[in-house]
Structures are given as structure tokens and as C-alpha cells.
A = this chain, B = another copy of it.
Amino acid sequence: MEPTHPIAQDDALPPAATSGHASERKVTIGDVAARAGVSKSAVSFVFNGRSGVGSDARERILKAAHELDWRPDARARALSRSRAQALGLVIRRDPTLIGTDPFFPQFVAGVESYMSTVGYALVLQVVDGEAAEQEAYARLAGEARVDGVFLTDLRVDDDRPSQLGALGLPHVLLGTDRRSDSPGIGLDDAAGIRRAVRHLHALGHQRIAHVSGADRYVHSRIRREAWEGEMAALGLDPGALVEADFTGRAGARATHELLDHPEPPTAIIFSNDIMAIAGMSAAADRGVRVPQDLSVVGFDDIPLAPYVFPALTTVRQDVFAWATACARSLVAIVEGNEPVPVTLPSVEFIVRASTGPARPLSDARQGAPE
């Protein structure tokens, strides 16, 4: 409070400021330095955690900064360090459909929770097509708005990793792409699906169908392949497969298609909860009871999953932890540090009421309430 250093202050005031009446001028590092009676670099050093400032000086600096309520201006910092201290996430999705996705908000929350602890900002962009997406990355890179980006919704033979490479934009992949040598962090989707298949098998199900997402997405494909693989491993006949697109509409349609079959499945594993819930409704619509006539498994464990009727058996991934790991990893990359090895929690399989024992094959025809 009292021990201000007026002399030093006057010294540091830029000549220009003495003219006007300096009431509303933004407080800068110079003001802090002056008030603490040190040089600007001393202040800078303290705020960047570098050594080379005596503890008494450091003390005064911190105090002065606090009294002045000063924080380093992110823009100036970004310019002089040639680093934006921001990471980008561009989401390519039909804007009207974006509300469908339980993944996105959780991912954002997870990423942000780590980033804010290290002073990074998250820059978000929503685009709705190939061209717009490319332009978005080009701009983020060209304008140097961000230091790196997260790449989501990985596709099979995705060429975005190499495009990002060409732009010189550091990135992490949400998922893994063997083709690319970009670092990728993925959850073990396959394990969840395998557990679902085994669970149903243990309940006596033989005809286990799968409703997948679009096969061009890596995560859709992984889930589908896991289902196929586990069916084979258990010695079951390959089940019916319908490719859908993760929407409720497609889930309902796929379910009808499967149930129209002369030998309909006794269980369906959906590639996400939305489709699974829509599928249960489709079943209910035609008098097929879940789980008596048909067992249903979802994927994601959306917040609504326990509160639909019957409560949905599903696979839960810890998206938040995943996102945190991605953020940690990307920050390490852009700062040129050793990437920290990540250990992700494994997926959980949550058994609720939508799965039950298979009926004896003989009377497994649907639509026959007692």
C-alpha cells in the first residue's frame, strides 16, 4: 500500500501519457514495473515463472500487479511469443443436427477443463461441409489464431492429417489412424462392443444384429468390426447388419428393417444410444416388447439412457477424461514438450433393463404379447 515508488513511476510513464489526463488508460506491464520499482523484464520474468528475480523484488511485483489488478495482455503476449496460447476445435456437422451429439459438449468440457488450468483458450468453429472445413483450418493456421487443433470424427483414409501437416498446424487425432503418423488418442470402443456381444450371448441370444453408423467413420467401423469379430469368436453366425447414420430416424428405420426379416434378431446392438432409443420405440410401435422379445444395447450412455423405458443397457466411455488427455497431449506438442503418456479409463458396460434372456428360438417371433 504505502511503499509506492513515485519516482520510478514517473520514470516509466511514457512521455505521451503525461500530456493527456491519464485516468482511464489501460494498466500495462510498465505500470506494474514502475509501481514495484523494477524493470518491465523483471515483471515479465516473474509472470512467466522464470528465475532471475530476487524474492524481495518478486514480492513487490506480485503485490503491485495485484493492486493494479493487472494481467498480461493475451494479444501482446501472443504476438511477441509468436504463439496464440489457444487451441482450436472445428466441428463439421449439420448445424441443425448438432444437438444430437452427446459427445461434443462433453468433449469441449473436458478439453476446456485442462486448458484453462494452463492458460490456454479454446477456439471453436462449426462448419457444415468439406470446403468450409478446409477453409476453417486454413484460416486458423494462416491467421495464427491457434497453436494447434483437435481433429474429430476421424474418417477412414482421412486426408485431413496430411492437410494439417501441410499447413504446419500441430494436431492430435481423436481416435487412431494407422495411415497417419499424427499422434492419436482413442478410446477402446471395440472392447465395449465385445462385452455387449458376450453379455447377449450369455443371455442365450444367437441372432444378434448390429446397426452401425456410417462406415466411413473410423469409430463406426471399429464398432462394427468388433461386433463381427466377437460373433465369430463365439462361434455365432454372422448377424444382420444395417448401416445407419447415428440419427434417431435412421435407428428407427433400421430396426423396422431388421424386424421385418423372416428370422428377426433377438437382440440388436446399436452404435449409439440415440439410435437404440429410437429403435426401442420402433419396436414398441409394432408391439415388439423390449426386452422380452428383443434385447437392445446402445453406446454412449447419454444422460437420458437410465430414464427411458426400459432403461437402456449401454456402453459408457469417459469422454471427459479422454478429452482431458487430448488437451494435455496437444498442449505438450505445441509447447515442444515430451508428450505425456496417456492412460485412459477403459469403457464400462452398463447393464440396465433393455436386455434380457433370449426367448427359446421356437417362439421368438415378435409381436405376440401374452
CB distance from A111 to the nearest CB of B (A): 9
B303 near A143 with CB under 8 A, answer: no
B100 near A303 with CB under 8 A, answer: yes
Q: Which of A32-40, A119-127, A221-229, A340-348 contacts B (4 or more CB under 8 A)?
A: A119-127
A97 near B303 with CB under 8 A, answer: yes
B108 near A101 with CB under 8 A, answer: no
**A residues 64-113 touching B (CB-CB < 8 Å):** 69-79, 84, 86, 91, 93, 95-106, 108-110, 112-113
CB distance from A197 to the nearest CB of B (A): 25
CB neighbours (8 Å) of A110 from chain B are 95
* A144: Cβ under 8 A from any B Cβ: yes
B143 near A72 with CB under 8 A, answer: yes
Given A304-B248, A304-B274, are A102 and B102 neighbors across the interface (CB < 8 Å)? no
B308 near A277 with CB under 8 A, answer: yes
CB neighbours (8 Å) of A314 from chain B are none
A71 near B304 with CB under 8 A, answer: no
CB distance from A289 to the nearest CB of B (A): 11
* A306: Cβ under 8 A from any B Cβ: yes
CB distance from A135 to the nearest CB of B (A): 9
CB neighbours (8 Å) of A76 from chain B are 79
Q: Which residue of B lies closest to A143 (CB)?
A: B74
* A285: Cβ under 8 A from any B Cβ: yes
Given A75-B78, A108-B126, are A280 and B309 neighbors across the interface (CB < 8 Å)? yes
Count, chain A residues at interface, CB 8 A: 69
* A139: Cβ under 8 A from any B Cβ: yes
A304 near B278 with CB under 8 A, answer: yes
* A284: Cβ under 8 A from any B Cβ: yes
A121 near B116 with CB under 8 A, answer: no
* A14: Cβ under 8 A from any B Cβ: no
B122 near A95 with CB under 8 A, answer: no
CB neighbours (8 Å) of A122 from chain B are 123-125
Complex Cα–Cα for A98 and B323 (A): 14
* A63: Cβ under 8 A from any B Cβ: no
Complex Cα–Cα for A83 and B186 (A): 37
Q: Which residue of B lies closest to A88 (CB)?
A: B121
Choose one: B69, B75, B277, B306; the contact of A248 (CB below 8 Å). Answer: B306
B143 near A126 with CB under 8 A, answer: no
Given A98-B105, A98-B106, A142-B69, are A308 and B308 neighbors across the interface (CB < 8 Å)? yes
Complex Cα–Cα for A121 and B121 (A): 11
* A145: Cβ under 8 A from any B Cβ: yes
Name 19 A/B residue pairs within 8 A (Cβ), A-sorted: A70-B142, A74-B84, A75-B84, A95-B106, A99-B302, A99-B303, A100-B303, A104-B105, A109-B126, A112-B124, A113-B126, A122-B125, A123-B124, A249-B307, A252-B307, A277-B308, A278-B308, A281-B311, A282-B307
- Which of A's residues lie within 8 Å of B, judged by CB? 69-79, 84, 86, 91, 93, 95-106, 108-110, 112-113, 116, 121-127, 136, 139, 142-145, 247-249, 251-252, 274, 277-278, 280-282, 284-285, 302-304, 306-309, 311, 319-320
